[in-house]
Structure formats: C-alpha cells, structure tokens
Structure 1
Amino acid sequence: MDVKLKKMVLVINGVERIFMCDPQRDKLSDVLRRLGLTGVKVGCGTGVCGSCSVILNGKVIRSCTKKITAVEEYSEITTIEGIGNPQHLHPLQVAWMNCGAVQCGFCVPGFIVSASQLLKENPDPTREEVRAWFQKTRNICRCTGYKQIVDAVMTAAKVIRGECSIEDIQFKNPADGEFYGKPVVRPTALAKVTGLADYGDDQALKMPDGTLYGAVVQPRVAHHAKILAIHTEEAEKMPGVYKVITAKDLIAAGGSNIMAEGQFHERSTVMTPSRKIFQDEKLYRYGDVVALVLADNQLDAREAAKKVTVDIEPLPEYLTYLDAVLPDSIRVHDDTPNIFCEQPVLKGAGLEDAEKVQEMIDDAPVVVEGSFYSSREPHLSIEGCVLQAYWDENGVMNIQCKSQGTYSSIGRIGNSVGVPKDKFRIIMNPTGASFGWSTNAGDLCLVAAGVVCTGRPVSLSMTYEEHQHFSGKRCPAYSNGRLACTKDGKIIAAEFDYGMDHGAYSWGGDDVMTKPARFAFWPYNVPNVAGLVRIANTNHAFGTAYRSYGSPQAYTLSEPLMDMMAEKLGMDPFEFRYQNIARPGDTNINSYPFRQYPMEKMMDTMRPIYEEAVKRAKQEDTPEKRRGVGIAWGGFNVTEGATDSAEVALELAPNGKIIKYDTWHELGQGGDVGSLMVTLEALKELKITPEDVQLIQNDTGKCPDTGMAGASRSLYMDGNATKIAAKKLLDAMRKPDGTFRTYEEMKAEGIETKYLGRYETTTTPGLTRLDPNTGIGDPTPAYTYCLNMAEVEVDTKTGKATVLRFTCVDMVGKVGNIDAVNGQAYGGISHSIGFALSEDYQDVKKHNNMAGAGVPTIMDTPDEINVIHMPITIEDGPFGSSGASEAFQASGHCAVLNGIYRACGVRIHEIPALPSKIKAGLDAIAAGKEPEAPKKYFLGSDLYEELENIKENPVQFGGNDFFTPLGDADAERFF
C-alpha cells in the first residue's frame, strides 16, 4: 500500500504539537491518542456516545468522527489532560469524584470536557440547562442515570462562582472513624476523572513491538447456514497481515475449538457444548466468528478481514422463540430439541394436581389473563470487547480483559485453545462497564487462540458493531398468565407459562430459566400456583447475564396482571398490592417463607408519595399530555446459592498499611470502594482510614477467588470473607494488653502478617435448589426488594411516553457506601426506562449501534429520581448489608408500562413501548375499539399437558447433598 503522510501542527492544551498523520484514514481521535492523550476515549466510534469529546476552537465536538483533514492547522484543542491533572484538579474533576458521578468512568473525560465548556459559557446554569447541554453535545452515560452527573456540574459551578471552596465539596474522613455508609470516594476515581485510567484500547497502544492486532471475521450473511468453504487467500495477501486463523489452525495447534459449557439443571437435554470459537461447519447466528485476522496494526487487520469470504447453504432461520418451537421446526442443534430445559412451579392445590389450579381459576369470581413479551435487551456498555493476551516469562498465558469472573473465565475457556487451566492468568483491565455480557469468555478464547497459533502477543479490539453482534443479550421471553381473586381482592391462584429465547447457544440457559420460576408474582402471597418456564435455542444472539438476570422477564407478566386485576376489581393498584403482599407466615411461590418481610413497611413509606403523585397527575393531565402513575413490586436474590463461596486475603505491610487481595470485579458498580468499605469496617479497631488501605484486585496471579460479580453477591460474600480474614489478622496483631503489634514486631516474633478469609453460604441452614419436579426450593440466603413508582406523560399526538419522575423504596440491608448504592439505583432505573421504552436488539441491521438500539439519553431519563433506602439490617449479611444493584433493574420497566396505561388507557403487552405502538392504541381508543393485544402464545404445548407430562416423568433431584426436603426442619421459619 502506498501511504502518503501529512505533517500538521495543532495547538493542543495550549501547546503547539507537531505530528504526522494519514489524511486518508486518520480521525482527530486517532491523532490525539497517538500523541499520548488517551483521556480521549473511543467507545462507539460513530459519534453517538460522546466519550471522545474534545473542545475544538471553542466548541465541543466528537473527535472519533472528525476527519483530520477537516481540522484546520493551528486549531486550538482542549482534551481532559488540559482541564486538570492529579496535582492540579479542576473543580469539575473534584465534584465528579465527590458527587458519585464516577462509575465505570469511561464516559467521564468526555463529560468533564463538555461541562467545562458549558461553565465557560454559562457559569450559573440551572439543572435543566445542564441536561439540555449534554443532550446537545450527545454525551451518553450508561452507568449513572445522569442524576449524579448533573449534581457534579452544579457543585463545581458553585466553586467556580466563588460561592464555596474546593475543600468544601470534598469528602472528609469522619472524626469518629465511622466510615460505613458514608460517601467515601472510589479509589479508582482520580485516574478516571483525569483520563489516566488505561482501559483496554489504552493498553493496546502501549503494547511492545512484536504485538499483533486482531480483527474478527463475522460473515453476517445469514442467521443460520451450513458453511461450505471459508476463503482466506485474499486476506492473507493484504499489507501487514501476519496470519489468518480459522478452526483448522487452532485444532492443529492443539486446541479443541470448543468452549467449555456446564449444564446443571436436572431437566436439561444438552449433553455436549454447543459453541465453538471459530465456526467451521455452521453459522448459528448473525455474530458468529469464522476467522481472526492478525496484522501489524489494527487498521490493516480490519481491512484484511473484509477480504475473507464464506460460501454457505442457507438453513431455516428461527429468530424468535415462537418460530423455534413450532411443530415442524428443525433443530437448531442436532443433539437436542429446541426447547432444551423446563422448570415447573407447583404450590398449594397445584402440588396435588396442577389441573386443580386450572379449575380454581376457571371457577374464581374475578379472573384476568394476558400474554406479554419482553425484548432482547442489549447491555450497551460504551466500551465493547477489548483485550490483550501474551505468554509471560513463566510460560503462563496472561489475558488482560473485561471479565466479571476472572477465575470462572478460566473454566469457561476450558481446553478450547489447548492451554492447561493452571497456565492461565486472567487480569482485569480498567473496565468501561459490562452489566453482564462479560460473564461469557468468548472474546478471551479468541485472543488466546491468536497467541497459541502465533506465539506472539495479541491485542483484539472489536468495533462497536462487531461487539454488538458478538456479545450476548438479555433473553427475550413470551409469557401467558392468569390471575384469580375473590370479589374482595384476595389472590386465590396464579397460572403462568414462560417461553424464554436463549438464542444460538445454551450455556447458562438452564440457570436463567429458574428466575421467572422464583420471581413471578413476587413478593405476593399466592396460595395456589401452576407454572412452567421453558427455554429454547433460536438463531439469534445468545442469552447471557444482564443485571437482574431473568427476573425482569418474570415481572413483565406478573406486574401488569396485578394492575389489570386491580382495575377489574375497581381497586386502586396500590391498595390491591398492599392487600396481597406477603406477611410473616406467608410463603413465596416456591413454598418457602420469604427471607425477610419488609413489604408492608416499604409500602407504608411509599403511600404518601404515591398519593401525592396521583393527585399531581390528575391536576396536570390534559388531552394533549396525558399523565399517569404506575406502580410495580420487584426484587432479586443475593448470592449464587447453597454452594457459593468467596476468599479474600488481608496483609499487614511494612509501611503499616493494610493490603487487601480479592476479586471483587470492578466494572463501575463499585468493586473498588465496596471492598474498601468492608475492610475499613472489619478492621475498625485499628482506626485506619481509606489512605491506609491498598487494594490489589482482579488478578488470578495475585488474588484469591472471591467469585463472580453477579447475583448481587459481591458485598455479601466479600464482606463476610473479609470479616473472617480481619478477625485472624486482628487476633495475630493483638498484644496481651489489648494494643496491636506493628509489622516489625510481628516479624520479630515470627507471626504471619497475611491471612486468608473464606466464607461459604453453607453456613446458612436449609438452602436448596429448586426441585426440578415441583419448583419447591429456597436457593439463596438473602434478597433485595424494590417498590417502584413511575410518573409518566404520554403525548397523544405522537404516542411518545416520557418518565417525568421516578421513586424507588428499596431494602438492600445496611448501605455500605451511599454514593455507590445510589449510583446503582439511578443507573438501574435508567436501564429499566430504556427497557420499557426503547431498547432492543432484534433487528440486527437497525440495532447495530447504541443509538439504533435505543440507549436512553439524558433527556430520556428523569432528573427527579428519588431513592429511599429502608433502614433494615440483614442478620447474616456483613455489617447488616445484603446486596444491591440488581433489584434496581428488576421491575422498574413495569412501573413505566403501568404508568402509560394509567395515563392513556393503552396497555403495552410487547416491549419496547415505542411511540408507534402507543399511538396505534390511542387511535384504536379514539375509534371506539379496544387496543389490540396479542393472542395467547403457543409456547410448545398446552401448559397443563406439559405439567402432567413432567409429573409422569419425574427426574432425580441430582443427588445434591445440600438439598433438604420441605418439612419439619423448616417449621421455625414458617411460624
């Protein structure tokens, strides 16, 4: 290739910088990052997210789409590095750190750069002016829900105007040493607000000579097809290309090419793993990878990847659950039916005979029924798949990546690349969020395969579109349900049938399937239940973890049915729920007592807020702008169940500091500050401060296995393990007179200075997985609870719904760090709003970027988000804490959907609630018709026939030694 370069001069952060550029290919962001200004982050790469924002000649622009040829020489450019540095912070940077506005931090430099220009032009903005500014500059945050970002701008503005000092806005260590619950600043915040945190692509720029850069080959010619041939010849001839790797190359190098998958549900029909690293026989979905191109630089690798072609024979494509389970549908995977697992739920009369529940509902005084669909929600983290791999000096494969489970990633790689498990070291890069997709190790397998096949270091950065097609999504679900009540509004029985779409690959499907089986009609007292959850393979994006994993699908059915029943009874939806929440002595749908019963107290707290909101909606309702208030209960489990465990280590260092080793994976949710908070509390006797603690985290070469960041488990498990390690360390340090030994004294006396703490959920009695024949079970020791209320406006001209205010009363136990928990609440609520109104990944052509997939902007998210934490402590939780994060995204979407109905009478049965759907419903009402609702879905067979089939074909519970049948041993918990 004949490359012609151009010399340029730009005034960057006040200094003239001379550089060479490629006028044909370089964007402004490319040049700035090559100059070492890696505070300029590139997320979407298409000008959507604003993480690359810089100031060009006094205007905020997105540098990832600005061609270098469109920038005049000697233009003035300001990046985050020109705003402030660690020694001289700008008020905005300090405010971001101290207002909880830093989570994953990937978007932070772009926001602060944008905000600095706003405050130059308007040093005294209102909150609405701040929001309008970020809407104009198109800065997107997926983590925070924007509220704390606006808080930070307003706080910094006060400093700039001279109304307070910079010291006034900073957190100060409490004199009494009581840190727990306080807004301690995240240890990683300083690097993030100054642009100095080296995320995956920043690490890629700093790799040594000899590194190869990868580009994936995704044919994108079909969702389902036989592969007849893969042609790599043209790609191999392209400039800079070192090697094009396909399945045959990896197998020749000793790999199996098969990712490890583990099924554990007794009814799973999956016997062999279904996912390959490189597809060589079939394409099962649009994002499948057939080859990896490795070249001397990323651009050459991507150009060469375009030259790889694939000959195919198209096969039938099943893009929804409903298509895949039709009687004449062929199998997606030859060795298993498309419906590969089922979980029944039977309670009360249903335990004796499921059809008795059917009869009870048929004969009940008041019955409502409906069918619902929850969408294939994309995670839309601003940073996608970016990682590096290399052999280290000890012959160990190091993978620097984004992972919610560094140790579990090793198991999921398995023997796929031919490297023994004890020869892997997984290290988390600073991470630009995940929300669940990084629990899957497919990208780790790709980059590891590159190293195995070449022997050289490999860096892989997918484009955002490649990442969007490659990564898993939330499982869509179709559901049918009925709810029966007495005339005075007491629930008699419930019936439900869920069909979950797990996409092309089955791993994890038999786990997520158990969540609707636990959280449908939660936390109500439902005495009789007949339910079934089924999960199937299709030819779409595979299902994977996403915050609140499996429970939003449950609430998508049960919470609208609760509203529909209230309306049919002529009751207020709040009152109907209040009458039917579980109270001590009542059991959940799995026939066990609730672990906690905060429901009545939570509703009492919400009641006056709800009544005021309803009053306000009536006053502000107009024919053009209809107003309504929606309510929805939700919650989620804490820990992975009866076999969960966590280890941490605490060490006294020579300088007197405490070193904490763990894998509380920090993806923005607060793994750093969470680990710090429990350490400060556990070692409170030493009177240490945050400055006395050094965290070494998320590196399997240095840290014990604290487990995965998921199941709202991290605080509960890490905190309890930290208590154990802290007791050991304190006991070792304590002298007979009650004072504590120094490091030097311990060494002199031959006393160990490092101690491991291990916590297991087996310490909680009576835990059991769900019985595969009945759904009876009690899998986790603690829960989180959320009662959500959305105040919604519907524009009757366009059908657009807007959430004006959102209130959440939660029970997450004692709060460990108030800013971190609030941030998880605001962020989860913003995801819920997006889930309800806009987010989807069904159309792979339309939904291939953040904007097309419906990511909420700042103006799509209300500034008025009120979160009320109930002051309730969890008995077995560390320091009274439970978990957080996931409950905040479990059912908020249902509050929005119920609010839409209360506003304008349109019930959205299939989300997202796009304006076109709402407008169609409004038009039907105007024409005197009922808005169209879906007919009962065919989910594979009749519900009661399938329940009878399961009854006639019971399976062994699996021989789990932690299973204790429901009986006398549990009597205390019932009474």
Structure 2
Amino acid sequence: MGMNRIVLTINGAERSLICDMEKDTLADVLRNLGLTGTKVGCGKGQCGACNVILNGKLTRSCTLNIKRVPEYSRVETIEGIGTANNLHPLQLAWIVYGGVQCGFCSPGFILSAKALLETNPSPTREEVRDWFQKNRNACRCTGYKPLVDGVMAAAEVMRGEKTMDDLYNMIPEDQVFDTRYPKPTALGKVLGTTDYGDDISLKVPDMLHLAPVMPTISHGLLKSVDTAAAEKAEGVVKVITAKDVPGTNRIVFPIGTSWADGEGSERPIICDEKVFRRGDVIALVVADTRRHARDAAKLVTAEYEQLPEYLDALDAVAEDALEIHPGMPNEFLRKARFHGEDTRQTLPKSAHQVELSVRNQTQPHMPIEPDTANAYIDGDGRLTIMFKTHALYMQKGFIASGLGIDPENIRLILNPSGGSFGYAFSPGTIALVGLASLLTGSPCTLTFSYEEHQAFTGKRPPTYQNVRIGCDEKGKITAAELDILYDNGCYSEAANSGALVPTKYFMTPYTTPSARVLSRTTFSNTPFNTAYRCPAAANMYTGQEQAMDMLAEKMGMDPMDFRLLNVWQEGDTAIYGEKPTVYVAEGIFKEMKPIYEKLKKHAAENTTEEKKYGAGVAFGSFNISNSGDHAEIALELNPDGTVTHYSTWEDMGQGADVGCLAYTHEALKPLGLKPEQIHIVMSDTDTCPDTGRAAASRCNLMTGQATDDGAKKMLDAMRKEDGTYRTYDEMVAEGLPTRFVGAFTQPVNEKLNENDGFGKFPPDQSYAGFVCEVEVDVATGKTKVIAMHCVSDVGKVTNWLSLEGQAFGGMMHSIGYALSENYYDFKKHNNLIGSGFPFIKDIPDGENFTLTNLETVRDYAAFGGTGISEGYQSAGHVAVLNALYAAVGVRIGMLPATPDKVKAAMEAKANGTYKEQEPFFFGKDFHEYLDYIKAHPRIEYKGAVVHH
C-alpha cells in the first residue's frame, strides 16, 4: 500500500495527512504532526500512555495501524480538550489532587477518564478502578489513589455539583511550604505540551536517530562484528563500533571503598573484547530516521566464543567459576560490622533463636517512559546532552574519559522525565548519544524500545541472605547475624551502596546488644545493580522483618508487641554504634497498633475455606544524606522584583520543582513575594550550581539548607538600616550583587571506621512502618493486598501532595516486589505485563490505602523537615509477606510470592512436606570470613567521606 493520503478530523479540525499506510501507527501520525501529548511508552498497548478517543471510543494508538483508521474519523487528543486558560475539569483535578508526578502517563489517563465520564457521568470509585483496569492504564508514580480522587472530583464539576472555582480554591494563594500547593510543572503535563526526550527528538531539524545492536548471548568473547550490510542500508549515516570510540571506551563509576577489588572502570561504552550480559551494546547504527536505523540494526551480525553464563550469584561465587572481569574476582567487594560481643557466644545463650533464608529477585524499575536522550554540539563547540538522570554533575565524570573529552566541554541538561525511581543514576545512554554526536557532528537521539530498555538499564539486584536473631526469656533481643550476598550483575556500579547499607541499618529500629554483619557482592552475567528507591535496604529488610515475626511467634507474642518491646528508647544506640538523630520509631509503632488490630480482626472474621485472610506488619528505614555531603543553589534578584532559584535538584516527578519553590518562598517571606513571583530554573550544568544527586533521600534536606543560606545572604544584602529592603535598581546603584550562592555541607563524622563498620554516616534516617492485609485464594494461591497503611515521620512537611505521592507510589512498588515483579527471563520479562507490573486493581484504595505522618521537628534542619522518599519503599513488601504467613502459614523463600509458589507451599503444608528455605552457602563460612576481615584491615580509616 505504501504512502497514501488520509483525511482525519483531529481535535475538531480537518487535517490532510500523508502516511506510510503499512508501517505508521495512529500514534506515529499524531506525533509527527507535533501532537506529542500522545505518548508512546510500552509500545505494546499495555500502558495506556498513547490513549486517544477515536470516533468516540477510547483507543490505544501505539498499536493501531493507520490503515485500520477509517478516513474522516474523529480523533481527540489531550491537546484538544483544554488550554492553559480554559482547563478541562479533569486536567485541573489532576493538578490539585496530585495526579501529576512525572506526568508521562497523565494525558492517557485523562483521556481515558474523559471517555468513562462520557458514558458514565456518576461512577463509583470502584467503577473508575474497573475502567482503568479494563483499559490497562498504567501509572508507576502515584499508587493510583490520587488519580481516582481526581476523576471523582472532576465528575462532580461536570455534573454541576461543584464548580471549577471550587477546585482552583484548593490551591493556597500565599503559602507554599507545608501545604498542598501543586507542582509548577503540572500544567504543561496535563495539557500534553511538556516535551519529554522523545518529543524533543521529533522537533529538531536534521536529527539523526540511533539504534543499538545487542548481543544474543550473556557472556562470551566478541570475535567480530560485521557491519557491512548495515552500512549500505537506506538512510544509514554511520555504524559505530568499539574501534570508533575516541577515548578509553570505558564508563568510570568509582566503587568508592578500599574493601573492593577493583576501581569501577570495567564497563565498556561499546563492547570490544567481551560481552557481559544480553543488554550490552556491540554496535550503534546512526541513520536519518528511526525506522531506517532500526531496520539497519537488524543487519549487523557478530561472532562470539561462548563462555559460561553465570545468571545466578551462587553460580558466580562457585569455586570453579571463571572470572567475569579478568583480574577481578567475581566476589569483588565485602564489608563487615562488628558490634558488641561475638555472636558466637551471645546467640547460643539466647532463650529463643530463629533462622531465615530468603532470596530477593531482580526488580525492574518499569517507568512508563523508556530511556531516552538527545545530544548535539552547541555553538561553543561543547557536547550538550539532554536526558534523564539523578546526578547531573556526576555524569560528566562518568563518561568524559571514555569519550576522550574534557568534562568542561560537556553540558548536561535534565529533560522532563517520565519516571526513573533510580535507574537513571547510571550513565550508559548518554555515553551512546554523546559518542554518536561527537563522531557525526550532528544532533543525535536515542529512544529505546521497551524491550531494549528492560535489557539495557540497571535493576534492583537479587540477594541471598541468611538471618539469625535471638532473644532472652522475656523477649528482649540478645544478638543478631546477617550474611547477605548481593548479585551486582555485570558491572560494579553502585556496589558500595549495597555493601554498606546492611552494616548500618540491620536491626533498625531495635536495640541489639550484639550483632555481626557480612555483606558480600559478586559479579554475574545479569543486569547491573543501580539505584532503586531504598537500594539494598529493601532487600535486607526482607529477612530481618520476617525473622522478627518468627521470633515473636516463638515467644508466643503478637508481632507488634514484640517490636514495641525491643524498639529503640531514648539513649539507645543503633548497630553502627552511635545514637540516631531522633527516636521516633516507638511513636510510629503506637500509631500503627490500632490499625493492625483492626486488620487482624477483619482477617479473623472473614476467613473461609476458600479465602484466607491475614494481617502483617513491618518497619523500614534508610539514610538521609551522608557524611560530608554538599549542596549549592543560587538565588537571583531580577529587575522586576521577582526572584529566580537555580539548582540541580533533579526532578523525576517526586516534586523537586515544588520543593524549590516552597523553600525559596518560605525563606524569602520578608520580601512578601507571591509564589508566582518566584521562577524556578532547574538542572542545567550551564546555569545551575551543583546541588548534588537526587538520591539517598538527601535533596529535601540539602536543598532546603542551601536555599536557606542563599536567602539569608540575599536578605542581608537587601536590608536597609531602617529594616526595609532595597529594590533591584537600588542594589545595582549601590554596586551590590544581585545573585547569591547558597551552600551547605554536612559535617564529616570523624569516627567512621570502614574496617569494622562503626559510625553513623547520615545526619538522619527515614522511618516508616507498614500494616497490611491480604486475601489468599486457596484454589489458586493468588495473593491480593486488600489494605495497606503507612505511618511515617518526616518532621515538617515541605509539600503534602509530593509526600503522599511518594508514599502511595512506594507502597505500590512494594506490593509488586512482594508478589509479582521480576526480571530474569529476557523473553518473558521484556514488557510491563510479563514483568509483573501492578495495575490499579492490584493496589488498595480509599480508606484501605492510607498515609499517617507524624511531624517530629528536626532541629538540625533549616525548615524542620527531612527526607523520606526511600523509606516509603523500604519494608512494605515484608508486611505483605508477613500477612501472607498469617493467612496461610507459609513463607516463600524464593521471591516473588507468585500464585504457583504460594499454592505449592500450601499443598506441601497440607500434606506435611512443607519446610522453609535451607540456609544458603556463599563459598566461604560466615564467621571464618569475618575473622579474616578483622585480622586484615584494609586501611587506616580516619573520617574520610563515605561515598554513597
């Protein structure tokens, strides 16, 4: 059929289009028109980001071939339902109820909701949820609850029961900090006018498109790469291989600890000698269009010498395993904590002991937007890359030597980002687009298919662990041991985080007189470890918080009462040997207890032979910032009296935009500025100081501190002798500066000792408790979370919409982590549904899905608050697992707890063959290895900064 003309009525206006009737989808046609509010996420019709209304019917446009669209059809996209000055009720409701986080899925959800309300103007909450489930609208940020809130409110407006002014009046006028003030970036996201990375690529003339070529094996020597056929293909400009890379062809991601056997420079940008996993890149095709690039990429072939594929950490640490990176042992990093007396003496003296062994699976981040980046050479000859990341300034160092370029000749800009949850901390994609732009001199773009995204990006790593905890006859904990093996995958990225965290947070928040921790890290031929909200700690709590339940059962105590008996009291120390900043865990437990009792009662009253119910509890924590951490921002007074805030608090949807606005508005209260008089310029290394990475829950604290410092400097300079403030013109006339850099540095803890694990490296920790109820279908083993509640303490709240979004989103990820999410089978797990993505009916709602936040003011913080994003994903999954045990009496040793595993365990219990997971052996005995580490300290450690 080829190219042809088609006439469609789009957003009420007739449009004449020329399309490739065989290859173009409706999404292609709309996006090529510039209507990029129609997003392409999964590309398989699974996520709903591409939703449009076609002839009155909700339609997924990414899988609908244009030849199947009748001529003169009516198409409605997000751009056609409202404008900035005349929003649709759904768009406004999405803004004021916090339905917008990253915003990538928002247009698809809003159109879906519009289609629902046109057929059912008075839906119940459950009918809204049924609609989104049936139409597979996927959101990874919000936990869905705010989206249902938005539909219900918009429906009231559309029925005439409320007005638009009622919704607008929900936005505070003169106060931002500690309110429900919406994200400043939300407007463009609900209108569909915000340009994400792939949207930008369609709007740049002469943009060259990239397609990666990935290996067909997970481990082998790369003997040759044949690019001849691809180079002759239509539209191809260049096919890049390792020989073309001008620098070292290595990404440098320092491990940052003396207890590692390596430096962190083993990852190739493009594979040269070996391939280490399926998601590596062996060649990069550059062509004039995306379609030409992808067609040509299929023509590249390679020859390999197959090597053993270590797809499991236990295989990688086996005695006869080959070194994956020659010269580095597969188990390349280990850390220990020695606290109190030797547990070989204290554990055996305990009145009761439990041991639990469990394996966490690989958890994929699964943002709706696949990874994407654009690069070009600017007018000053600098390589400029626009992408998504958590660490703008750090990325320069990661890629500069590999590309053979001075870091000062790199400018990095954060794109509006469709979610990350940590994976974008890693620098692989920018190295590829930067390389292509350097070699061609042209702007280049790369948007991975979702299958490629799953293969290429890092993941939360799998772990094996053995946990042992003992208590005395009264139930007080006596001793605890943790032996944990992190599978860091094919590269060493972020390895120190995995090794360090258990040595600090094991047994938080319980007083534990004696503890030993051995944290080991190995290479394998699987996706590399990268940041994922609450990295390493979420893995660790899987063992700890189940073992706490087991010990309570041995004592004949309620799990909540057992925790309250052992929770930190004022003056107690953590296993890192020092006192925590605040003692809030007991208050959290006391707030959780009545919720837990209610769920236990409901479970007991509703359990039948066919459906079993159970309630579970768990507690989690993570660090906030770290020793020696530093952040800078800038505040500039403008000629019209407004103020501009500059920072690199990278916003992945978590609320960096409204956080910067809240702090600036609050700190400059004496100037009487309205929120709209504060401009936010974010995340461009050319214009913004280095505020540090958006990780370790640090930004809320560190940006606040730096903003407070900058505001004080500005106010001091502006203040006249009579207490009034100079105008911009007066400042200039008197030769005073109008731009002020605010900075804050966390003190270095001089007592930190890397050899024995002593010392507190963050200024604070996040604290979150979780209560959960599950329903288990006895016939199938399917486990459904019917209620989940979180109680946290973050001090003063910067923004309530952001706080709730992080909480509900974190709990959603936790439910998936416990029951369904996985990335192991590269064929099955290459899409959202195959990887176990939780849709709306998998997540509770309304009064069964709540956040309670306590507000213990943090005296050390400029605004009284701290960070907690990662705490919200620390241990919710363990509450699910404990609830599962309460319901049916089984624990799943190899996660996730999928229906087949649960059913098999229940059947084994019924016939008397059920047993818990046997202890794992990691190649070296736990205590012998600890003895060796203690006898062979690596360095004299004197308070150096802990890189995390």
Amino acid at match of 1:789: V
User: Partners of 1:955 and 1:961 in 2: how far apart?
Assistant: 14
Pick from 222, 229, 234: which aligns with 1:227?
222
1:66 paired residue number:
64
- 1: CA distance, partners of 2:274 / 2:403: 20
Counterpart contact for 2:781–2:900, Cα < 8 Å: yes
Aligned pair partner of 1:133 in 131, 134, 157:
131
1:919 partner letter: K
State the match for 1:836 in structure 2.
818
Letter in 2 for 1:743: Y
Q: Specify the alignment match of 2:213 in structure 1.
A: 217
Q: Aligned residue for 1:934?
A: 917
Q: After TM superposition, list the pairs within 5 Å mapping 1:357-396 onto structure 2.
A: 357-396=343-382
Q: Describe the SS at the equivalent of 2:859.
A: coil
Greater mean alpha carbon deviation, residues 601-610 or residues 335-344: 601-610
- Give 1:767 deviation, angstroms: 5.8
Instruction: State the SS of the aligned residue for 2:385.
Output: strand
Q: In structure 2, give the amino acid aligned to 1:231.
A: D
| Shift in Å, 1:926 | 2.0
The residue that corresponds to 1:97 in the other structure is 95
Tell me if the contact between 2:755 and 2:941 (Cα under 8 Å) persists in the aligned partners: no
Distance apart, 1:272 and its partner CA: 5.8
What TM-score results when the alignment is normalised by the length of structure 2?
Answer: 0.98
Partner of residue 77, structure 2: 79
**Alpha-carbon distance, 1:174 to partner:** 4.8
1:453 match: 439
Which digits, 9 at most, give the CA deviation of each residue in 1:104-162, with x for residues without a partner? 00000000000001111111111000000000111000000000000000011111111
Of 416, 438, 457, 2:402 maps to 416
Q: Is contact 1:642-1:768 (8 Å) kept?
A: no
**1:69-468 correspondence to structure 2 within 5 Å:** 69-171=67-169, 174=172, 177-209=174-206, 211-219=207-215, 221-250=216-245, 254-271=246-263, 273-350=265-342, 357-468=343-454
SS in 2 for 1:469: helix
Structure 1 stretches lacking a partner, 5+ long:
351-356, 964-975
Q: Shift of the alpha carbon at 1:31?
A: 0.3
Instruction: Identify which of 750, 755, 762 aligns with 1:773.
Output: 755
Contact between 1:436 and 1:547, CA under 8 Å: does it hold in 2? yes
2:899 is aligned with 1:915: yes
1:697 aligns with 2:682: yes
Mapped partners of 1:818, 1:707: distance in 2: 23
Superposed displacement of residue 814, structure 1? 0.9
What's the CA shift for 1:750? 1.6
Partner-residue secondary structure (3-state), 2:401: coil
Contact 1:630–1:895 (8 Å) recurs in 2: yes
Using the TM superposition, give the Cα deviation of residue 888 of structure 1 relative to its aligned residue in structure 2, in angstroms. 0.1
Read off the aligned partner of 2:102 and give its amino acid letter.
C
Report the counterpart of residue 972 of structure 1 in structure 2: none
Matches within 5 A, 1:402-801: 402-639=388-625, 641-762=626-747, 766=749, 769=752, 771-801=753-783
Does the 8 Å contact 2:255/2:264 carry over to 1?
no
1: CA distance between counterparts of 2:763 and 2:675?
Answer: 30
**How many Å separate the matches in 2 of 1:748 and 1:489?**
72
Distance 1:239 1:643, change over 3 A: same
How far did residue 416 of structure 1 move? 0.8
CA distance in 1 between partners of 2:943 and 2:511 (Å): 29
Structure 2 counterpart of 1:969: none
8 Å contact from structure 2 (residues 250, 269) kept in 1: yes
Matching residue of 2:786 = 804
How far apart, in 1, do the equivalents of 2:17 and 2:689 lie? 45
Contact 1:475-1:502 at 8 Å conserved across structures: yes
Mapped to 2, the partners of 1:611 and 1:101 lie a distance apart of: 31
Q: Which has the higher mean CA deviation after the structures are superposed, 236-245 or 74-83?
A: 74-83
Alpha-carbon spacing, 1:557–1:957, altered in 2? closer, same or farther (3 Å): farther
Find the aligned partners of 2:921 and 2:613 in 1 and give their Cα distance: 35
Deviations, residues 658-689 of structure 1 (Å, cap 9, x unaligned): 10000011110011011111111111111222
Contact 2:258 2:939 in 1 (8 A): yes
Q: How far apart are the structure 2 equivalents of 1:929 and 1:512?
A: 35
Deviation at 1:959, TM superposition (A): 4.7
- Inter-partner Cα distance in structure 2 for 1:658 and 1:889: 36
CA distance in 2, matches of 1:112, 1:462: 25
In the alignment, the residues of structure 1 paired with residue 465 and residue 653 of structure 2 have an alpha-carbon distance, to the nearest angstrom, of 33
Residue 849 in 1 paired to residue 831 in 2?
yes
Residues of 2 paired with 1:921 and 1:661: CA distance?
A: 55
CA separation in 1, counterparts of 2:613 and 2:473?
A: 29
Counterpart amino acid of residue 190 in structure 2: V
Hey, what's the Cα distance between the residues in 2 that align with 1:779 and 1:957?
A: 17
- Secondary structure of the corresponding residue to residue 597 of structure 1: coil
- CA pair 554-272 structure 1, distance change in 2 beyond 3 A: closer
**Aligned letter for 1:227?**
L
Residue deviations 1:560-616 (CA, integer Å, cap 9, x gap): 000111111111000001101111121111111122101111111111111111111
Identity of aligned residues (%): 46
8 A Cα contact 2:580 2:764, kept in partner: no
Which amino acid letter does the alignment assign opposite residue 441 of structure 2? G
CA distance in structure 2 between the aligned counterparts of 1:173 and 1:301, rounded to whole angstroms: 47
Shift, 1:844, TM fit: 1.2
Instruction: Report deviation, 1:418.
Output: 1.2
Check if 1:955 corresponds to 2:938. Answer: yes
Q: Which amino acid aligns with 1:168?
A: D
Code of the residue aligned with 2:322 in structure 1: it is: I
Matches within 5 A, 1:956-971: 956-961=939-944
Q: CA 1:929–1:69 in 2, change beyond 3 Å: closer, same or farther?
A: same
Residue 940 (structure 2) pairs with residue 943 (structure 1): no
Output one character per residue of 1:697-717: Cα deviation in whole Å (capped at 9) or x when no partner. Answer: 000010000000000001100
- Counterpart CA distance in 1 for 2:574 and 2:240 is 52
Instruction: State the TM-score, normalized to the length of structure 1.
Output: 0.96
Question: 1:849-885 CA distances to partner (integer Å, 9 max, x unpaired)?
Answer: 1111111000111113110110211111231010021
CA distance in 1 between partners of 2:170 and 2:120 (Å): 29
In the TM superposition, residue 263 of structure 1 has moved relative to its aligned partner by 2.2
Q: Cα RMSD over matched residues?
A: 1.3
- Whether 2:857 is the aligned partner of 1:865: answer no
Number of residue-to-residue matches in the alignment: 944
CA contact (8 A) 1:368 1:565 kept: yes
Is contact 2:383-2:438 (8 Å) kept?
no
Instruction: Give 2:151's aligned amino acid.
Output: V
Once the two structures are TM-superposed, the CA of residue 757 in structure 1 deviates from its matched residue by 0.5
Partners of 2:945 and 2:398 in 1: CA distance: 25
Q: Write out per-residue CA displacement over residues 514-538 of structure 1, whole angstroms, 9 at most, x where no aligned residue.
A: 1122222211111101120000000
1:274 and 1:159 map into 2 onto residues whose CA distance is 58
Secondary structure, in 3 states, of the residue corresponding to 1:879? coil
DSSP 3-state at the match of 1:363: coil
> 1-side partners of 2:872 and 2:777: how far apart?
27
> How far apart in 1 are the matches of 2:264 and 2:672?
54
Deviations 1:913-972 (A, max 9, x none): 100011011111222332x42211111211001001112211214454569xxxxxxxxx
AA partner of residue 156 (structure 2): K
